[in-house]
Amino acid sequence: MSILGNRVLRREDPKFLTVGGTYVDDLALPGSVHVTFVRSSMAHARIVSVDSTNVQAMPGVIAVYTNDDLGLAKFPTVMGMTNEAMAPSMLASGTVRYVGEPIAAIVAESREIAEDALEQVVVEYDPLNVVIDPVRARTDEDLLFPDAGTNTSFSLDFGGDETLFDDCDVVVELELVNQRVAPCPLEVRSAAAHMSEDGRLEFNSSTQAPHGVRDALATFLGLEPDQVHVVTPDVGGGFGAKAAVYPEDIVVGWCALKLGRSVRWTETRSESMLGLGHGRAQVQHVRIGGTREGVVQAYRIEVLQDSGAYAGFGTVLPFMTRVMTSGPYKIPKAECASVSVVTNSTPTTAYRGAGRPEATAAIERIMDVFAREIEMDPAELRRRNLIGKDDFPYTTPVETLYDVGDYHRALDLALEVAGYDELRAEQARRRAAGDVRQLGIGLSCYVEITNGLPDGEFGAVEVRPDGKVIVRTGTSPHGQGHVTAWSMLVAEQLGVAIEDIEVVHGDTDIVPRGAGTMGSRSLQIGGAAVNQAAVDVVEKAKDLAAGLLEADREDIVLNKAKGNFHVVGTPAVSRSWAELAAAAAKDGNPLFAEVDLASPGPTFPFGTHISVVEVDTETGKVNLLRHIAVDDAGRIISPLLAEGQVHGGIAQGVAQALLEEVVYDLEGNPLTSTLADYSFISAAELPSYETRFTETPTPVNALGAKGIGESGTIGSTPAVHNAVCDAVAHLGVRHIDMPTTPIRVWNAINDAATGDGSAKGGR
């Protein structure tokens, strides 16, 4: 019986549930000094002076460094596509552009001394006009980078067909705000560095991509990659934001080189809310057209992306939005164009879904608006326009090639699990009775891209003379369960006990290469690499067994149930993995295989989510009653891990729909810089999810697996959003922007009652 597809308990959990994990800040580094950063209290200003005279005289303070002291290059453009004039320096140089931007680094003998020293640094500013709204930023009225001559950091100008909607009977349009959110991993950013006895830089980092950190440190500090050793211990969440390398990381490494001492840094939660890259932050103008019979004929989305203060990775995320423009629908004509602009706010970066949730949010919201316009049930509208299972592989109007899918099956299963007809009947009853608590039902049919920037991945499998197996992987987990999944794959191929498998990751000396963990890529490329390495080890073992058993290699078979090799028809005479590995080691050739698996391309998971909410029309309060998730990620290797990923994704998606939003005042001061101000979802706001999986294996990889790490977030947000809007649609409310907080819902209801049915509700 195969171990794959079974509910194998997570191998990672006993440690976390007993002694706990070991994070960067837990590491013992005797004699280490501490770095803190002087951060800007102004959103936009020239730096007149930085006076650290009082700090230099404080006992225990070792040094204060500004950007001029570092002498380091600016960050490069993103994939060569962003405006190089808008790249950040390591520490602010000349001008600060957002509250929280690091200006100077203080190194002290203890964290307490370093924190006290921060209060003694005096920064004199010359204030400049602040630009927070990306719509205003696009006008170039006030420039963040005068030398650039524009606030536009990146653009994608596709389409522009003026006849796109000419044949449509009905055309509706909508402006949406996909609000800025903070990733909020439980472990904030942290780094530690020291010089080893052989002169190498040893660096510990809370990161999703240890090899990326190694290469960045080498590049900026003038070292060769083999002169940098990065070790990533346990990582307490990342959600995409920790895939990036931040200026603070480079400064910590520079200080270790400069001082020849162990140096460490861990930010506070407030620093994390201001410095760790934010997500989403799009203003979308969408337009859809079709027939009164519900056939969608044309769709256009125009994206205004808020880059934040610098042109980082968030600047190019509209590229991923464009890739998924038309969602799961067979729309003949579709276009996407985008403009990214800089504002005086925290730079944006990848956040769980990274451009794809934004695409789904746009098309799923406008599908509901279109359905209401033509007086058609939103589920029926979707059914009529979904791509058919016989249409795959399917190329969309923006030339994205979908691999395989059965979108109708996912929709039908979700409707069945939800009891959709009964829900609509209950909704009609409440509306007719004028109940205070109205029911809302929201749908979201989604398709997304995983491993969308297709990198390869490293995997290696070695059988030791004691019969134990060590697996090395270039992926770097932070909660996903790679140790369990990779162990399952190797156990399946080798026929060894899962307890006899050790998975090693996050150490650039032990694992020579790796792209890391992001973009829901791990199983379909990292797992596939490990799987292939295991297959290759089996083939090598057959060669060894043939020699030891004095038989033809083609007659050698692996008995996976017993974990040994024998000649066909002669199971009594066999050789175990331990015996073969011992023989290989004796010959000086370990029983080992490594694979650098090139990516054959992305995959496209899909599904349907349905949310049921109750809205108190007197207060605007929203309660999420049910959430049904039907997801298809190809072949499911580990149902337990897949469910865990969907559960976490739904929580974050619901949070964006109902609660989360990073807010600035007009002067660029953050109003949500702590978890007391930033609404952070808890189990109290979430029901028990109703999850189901369909399996449509992809031909893209040998496992047939697609990614699932971000599907829950992509499917859930528009389902909840649509449910809230649906609950009050009969009251004349056309749309409410996220997050659908009580005040926004209440304002929308009251605005509709006074005749302004297009109102979106105030803050």
CATH number at residue 537: 3.30.365.10
Q: pLDDT class for 1, splitting at 50, 70, 90?
A: confident
Tell me the per-residue pLDDT of 577-595, one tens digit each, with 9 for 90 and over: 999 999 999 989 999 999 9
The CA-atom distances, in angstroms, between 607 and each of 18, 230, 567, 604 are: 36, 38, 46, 10
* pLDDT greater than 50 at residue 408: yes
DSSP lists the bridge partners of residue 306 as 341
pLDDT of residue 382: 98
Which helix (H) or strand (E) segment holds residue 559: the answer is strand 556-559
- Half-sphere exposure at residue 150, Cβ-oriented, CA atoms within 13 angstroms: 12
- The answer on 5 and 123 residing in a single domain is no
Tokens at 3, concatenated: 């171990």
**410 and 542 within one domain:** no
Is residue 108 domain-shared with residue 206, that is, in the same domain?
no
Contact 717, 352 (CB under 8 A): no
On whether residue 395 sits in a domain, the answer given is no
Q: Which residues, at least 6 apart from 589, have a Cβ–Cβ distance to it below 8 Å? A: none
Angle at 294 between CA 288 and CA 300, to 5 degrees: 15
- Locate tokens 């795959």: which residue? 392
DSSP reduced 3-state for 653: helix
Q: Are residues 407 and 495 in the same domain?
A: no
Q: Which two tokens stand for residue 749?
A: 């209801």
In this structure, the answer to whether residues 741 and 614 fall within a common structural domain is yes
Report the distance separating Cα 486 and Cα 450, nearest Å: 19
Contacts for 642 with CB less than 8 Å, ≥ 6 apart:
631, 633, 636, 693, 708
pLDDT classification of 761: cutoffs 50, 70, 90: low
**Position 707 in a domain:** yes
Q: Is the pLDDT of residue 454 over 90?
A: no
pLDDT digits (tens, 9 = 90+) for 248-279: 999 999 999 999 999 999 999 999 999 999 99
For residue 60, the enclosing domain spans: 31-128
CB atoms within 10 A of CB 18: 7
Q: Is the pLDDT of residue 158 over 90?
A: no
DSSP 21-49: ---GGG---TT-EEEEEEE-S-SSEEEEE
Q: What is the CATH classification number for the domain harbouring 106?
A: 3.90.1170.50
Does a structural domain hold residue 561?
yes
Percent of the chain whose predicted confidence (pLDDT) is above 90: 95
Q: Do residue 124 and residue 269 come from a single domain?
A: no
CA atoms within 13 A on the CB side of 404: 15
Amino acid at 327: G
| Residue 681 domain flag | yes
Nearest Cα neighbor of 286 from 219, 359, 351, 390 is 359
Same domain, yes or no: 427 and 381:
no
Q: Do the domain assignments include residue 486?
A: yes
CA–CA distance, 749 with 759 (Å, rounded to integer): 9
The answer to whether residue 462 scores a pLDDT higher than 70 is yes
Closest listed residue to residue 381, CA positions, set 486, 295, 450: 295
Q: Domain ends where: 222, 255, 276?
A: 276
Same domain, yes or no: 438 and 460: no
d(CA 190, CA 173): 45
Torsions phi, psi of 187, nearest 5?
-95, 120
pLDDT tens readout for residues 10-19: 999 999 999 9
> For 496-519, how does the pLDDT look when each residue is reduced to its tens digit (9 = 90+)?
999 999 999 999 999 999 999 999
Annotate 364-387 with DSSP letters as a single string.
Answer: HHHHHHHHHHTT--HHHHHHHHBP
The proportion of the chain whose per-residue pLDDT surpasses 70, expressed as a percent, equals: 99
Q: What is the dihedral of CA 173, 174, 175, 179, to 10 degrees?
A: -140
Residue 390: inside a domain, yes or no? Answer: no
Give the mean pLDDT of 688-712. Answer: 97
CA–CA separation, 556 and 580 (whole Å)? 13
Question: What is the DSSP-derived secondary structure letter of residue 450?
Answer: B
Mean pLDDT (whole number) for 424-436: 98
Q: Which residues contact 742 (CB under 8 A, 6 or more apart)?
A: 619, 620, 621, 622
Residue 392, domain member (yes or no): no
- Angle at the Cα of 94 (from 90 to 99), degrees rounded to 5? 70
Residue 396 lies in a domain: no
pLDDT at 759 over 80: no
Among 138-142, 488-492, 597-601, the range scoring the smallest mean pLDDT is: 597-601
Question: What pairs with residue 301 in β-bridges?
Answer: 286, 336
- What is the structure's pLDDT at 755? 83
- β-bridge pairing 333-342 and 296-308: parallel
What pLDDT, on a 0 to 100 scale, did the predictor assign at position 763? 44
Rounded to two decimals, the pTM is 0.97
Residue 35 buriedness (CB in 10 A; 0-12 / 13-18 / 19+):
buried
- Pair 591, 701 in one domain: no
Q: Do 608 and 755 belong together in one domain?
A: yes
Asked if the peptide bond before residue 687 counts as cis, ω within 30 degrees of 0, the response is no
- What does the pLDDT average to over 367-382? 98
DSSP state of 112: H
Please check the confidence at residue 762 and state whether its pLDDT lies above 50.
no
Strand partners, 308: 342
Asked whether residue 227 falls in the same domain as residue 210, the answer is yes
* Structural tokens at position 569: 């028809």
Helix (H, G, I), strand (E, B) or coil at 672: coil
- Total domains present in the chain: 5
CB 120 within 8 A of CB 59: no
Closest CA to 723 of 684, 675, 756, 687: 687
Q: At what angle do helices 378-385 and 407-418 cross, to 10 degrees?
A: 160
- The confidence band for 760, taking pLDDT boundaries of 50, 70 and 90, is low
Q: Which residues pair with 551 in a beta bridge?
A: none
| Three-state SS at 727 | helix
Exposed / middle / buried, residue 607 (Cβ in 10 Å: 0-12, 13-18, 19+): buried
CA pair distance 611, 717, nearest whole angstrom: 9
What's CA 522's distance to the chain center, in Å? 12
Domain boundary among 276, 298, 313: 276
> Which residue, of 576, 597, 618, is where some domain finishes?
597
Residue 570's beta-bridge partner residues?
567
115-141 mean pLDDT: 97
Q: Cα(321)–Cα(316) distance, rounded to whole angstroms? A: 9
- Distance between CA atoms of residues 10 and 7, nearest Å: 9
Q: What average pLDDT does the structure give for the chain?
A: 96
Residues 203 and 230 in one domain: yes
pLDDT at 758 over 70: no
Report how far apart, in Å, the C-alpha atoms of 375 and of each of 370, 392, 424, 756 are: 8, 31, 14, 21
